[in-house]
């Protein structure tokens, strides 16, 4: 049995794909993707700087390949992301006039969403619009268009493709203050009669945080809004989080950061087991609430390709995913497979 088969009656099991994984399409990687996962998310190629590099120029090449792969393997295809302040194509920043900025944003959303109408099953319409305290991030979108940009973005996306599920997606969504902000924000959009279909909790988590209680409470609170809940960018870092270390002097160069890359020669069995248990605990919760969860997507297939080898410190060796650097399933994979057998 594969992961995809084991979880098919629970929720979609997804992975993010980047261009390297798509281009290796006749390798072991492609086999893993098609067999083990039932959904894919565009890790980078649909971000505005890649897909819409100039105001009048789109570059759909990689995104088209991504969508075609989803069709080939009969997957639920998720688009990421229509409105995001980061990796924003530089031309947005050259528009002075607010109305013109709003027009350009509307056109950006509609051109992309309508091009993939019927092919993209769900979209992250707005990504990371909140600060940690739950207030709205002072992004270029907020500055130019005011708070209305949020409802407008969802309205425009629905006008372009009413059939796709439309999501708000963010990280640290288990943090109580941010959670309250997200709930207020989505409620405000819904109250305007604009459709939001789901909330994406990114799930860039650690071995010990967030707590299972916080994760569970978040799933319950978000779904109480009447929307779907997706875990959209799941990975579990096994490395020390520099932001946890009080007063630590962190350099972007790990060689100067004592103890920050402890497993560069391999992951000790004890940590391998910890990771497998953490995944087991998290997935027990997901299965408990499977009626509320539409999709659980890992932020990549194998450890070697994870963004967490380069963040928040460059050049580390992290082990956050289900497949190791040789594309072999890890204990974490076995643990969530075994768990499903019991449900
Ligand atoms: O492809 C180029 C390569 O040619 C070049 O040599 C290299 C040098 O820096 O850069 C490569 O591009 C990098 C790209 O990832 C592909 O690996 C970019 O610099 C790097 O900025 C980019 O990082 C991505 C990051 O978002 C920023 O867009 C990560 O892959 C991606 O995993 C990450 O994903 C985000 C979600 O979109 C939103 N939520 C948080 C999540 C993690 O940061």
Indicate the pLDDT class of residue 299, thresholds 50, 70 and 90: very high
CA-to-CA separations, 133 to 54, 181, 246, in angstroms, rounded: 34, 7, 20
What's the mean pLDDT in 7-30?
89
CATH of the domain at 223: 3.20.20.80
Q: What is the pLDDT of residue 244?
A: 72
Nearest protein CA to atom 34 of ligand 1, as residue:
43
Of 21-25, 87-91, 288-292, 316-320, the poorest mean pLDDT is in: 21-25
In this prediction, residue 106 carries a pLDDT of: 98
Position 256 confidence tier, pLDDT thresholds 50, 70, 90: low
pLDDT at 45 over 90: yes
Average confidence (pLDDT) over 275-287? 98
Average pLDDT value for residue range 232-252? 78
Are β-strands 12-17 and 39-42 bridged in parallel, bridged antiparallel, or unpaired? parallel
End-to-end CA distance of the chain: 15
* pLDDT at residue 125 in the model: 99
Pocket of ligand 1 (CB under 6 A): 18, 43-44, 47, 87, 127, 171, 202, 233, 307
- Compute, in angstroms, the gap from residue 275 CA to the centroid of ligand 1: 24
Report the pLDDT averaged over residues 98-125: 98
Q: What's the CA-to-centroid distance between 44 and ligand 1, angstroms? A: 7
Could you identify the atom of ligand 1 that is nearest to the CA of residue 307?
32
Q: Is 16 left (phi over 0), alpha (psi -120 to 50) or beta?
A: beta
User: Given this model, what pLDDT does residue 260 score?
Assistant: 86
* β-pair type (122-127, 76-83): parallel
Structural domain harbouring 13? 3-342
Q: Is the pLDDT of residue 249 over 70?
A: no
CA of 17 relative to ligand 1 center, distance in Å: 12
Helices (H), the chain: 3-6, 19-23, 28-36, 48-51, 61-72, 98-115, 140-145, 148-160, 176-191, 212-223, 269-288, 331-342
Residue with CA at minimum distance from ligand 1 atom 22: 44
Pocket test for ligand 1, best of 20, 21, 23, 44 (most atoms within 8 A of CB): 44
Active-site amino acid positions: 233
Determine the pLDDT at residue 250. Answer: 57
Closest ligand 1 atom to Cα of 127: 38
Mean pLDDT along residues 265-294 = 98
Of residues 278, 292, 100, the one with CA closest to residue 203: 278
pLDDT tens-digit readout, 208-229: 999 999 999 999 999 999 999 9
Looking at residue 312, its pLDDT comes to: 86
142's tokens: 């907020």
Nearest to 168 by CA among 235, 112, 123, 117: 123
| pLDDT-based confidence at residue 245 (cuts at 50, 70, 90) | low
pLDDT at residue 246 in the model: 55
How many domains in the chain? 1
- Mutate-to-test residue for ligand 1 from 15, 43, 308, highest number of ligand atoms within 8 A of CB: 43
Over the stretch 125-138, which tens digit does the pLDDT of each residue have? 999 999 999 999 99
Ligand 1 centroid, distance to 313 Cα (angstroms): 14
For residue 335, pLDDT beyond 90: yes
Q: How many CA atoms lie within 13 A of 319 on its CB side?
A: 29
Asked whether the beta carbons of 268 and 274 are under 8 A apart, the reply is: no
């Amino acid at each position: 049995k594969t992961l995809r088969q084991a979880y098919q009656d629970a929720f979609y099991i997804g992975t993010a794909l980047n261009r390297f994984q798509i281009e290796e399409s006749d390798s072991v990687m492609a086999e893993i993707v098609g067999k083990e996962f039932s959904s894919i998310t565009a890790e980078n190629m649909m971000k505005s700087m890649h897909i819409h590099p100039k105001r009048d120029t789109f570059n759909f090449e990689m995104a088209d390949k991504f969508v075609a792969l989803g069709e080939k393997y009969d997957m639920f295809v998720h688009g990421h992301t229509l409105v995001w302040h980061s990796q924003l194509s530089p031309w947005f920043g050259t528009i002075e006039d607010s109305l013109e900025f709003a027009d350009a944003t509307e056109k950006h959303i509609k051109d992309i969403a309508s091009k993939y109408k019927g092919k993209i099953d769900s979209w992250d319409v707005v990504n990371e619009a909140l600060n940690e305290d739950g207030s709205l991030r002072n992004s270029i979108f907020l500055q130019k268009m005011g708070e209305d940009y949020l409802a407008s973005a969802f309205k425009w996306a629905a006008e372009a493709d009413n059939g796709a599920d439309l999501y708000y997606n963010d990280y640290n969504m288990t943090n109580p203050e941010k959670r309250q902000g997200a709930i207020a924000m989505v409620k405000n959009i819904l109250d305007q009669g604009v459709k939001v279909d789901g909330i994406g909790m990114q799930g860039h988590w650690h071995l010990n945080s967030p707590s299972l209680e916080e994760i569970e409470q978040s799933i319950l609170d978000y779904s109480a809004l009447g929307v779907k809940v997706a875990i959209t960018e799941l990975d579990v870092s096994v490395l020390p989080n520099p932001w946890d270390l009080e007063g630590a002097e962190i350099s972007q160069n790990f060689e100067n950061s004592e103890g920050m890359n402890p497993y560069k020669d391999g992951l000790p069995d004890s940590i391998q087991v910890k990771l497998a248990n953490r995944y087991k605990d998290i997935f027990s919760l997901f299965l408990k609430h499977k009626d509320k969860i539409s999709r659980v997507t890992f932020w990549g297939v194998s450890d070697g390709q994870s963004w967490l080898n380069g963040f928040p410190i460059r050049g580390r060796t992290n082990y956050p995913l289900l497949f190791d650097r040789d594309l072999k399933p890890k204990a974490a994979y076995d643990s969530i497979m075994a768990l499903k057998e019991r449900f």
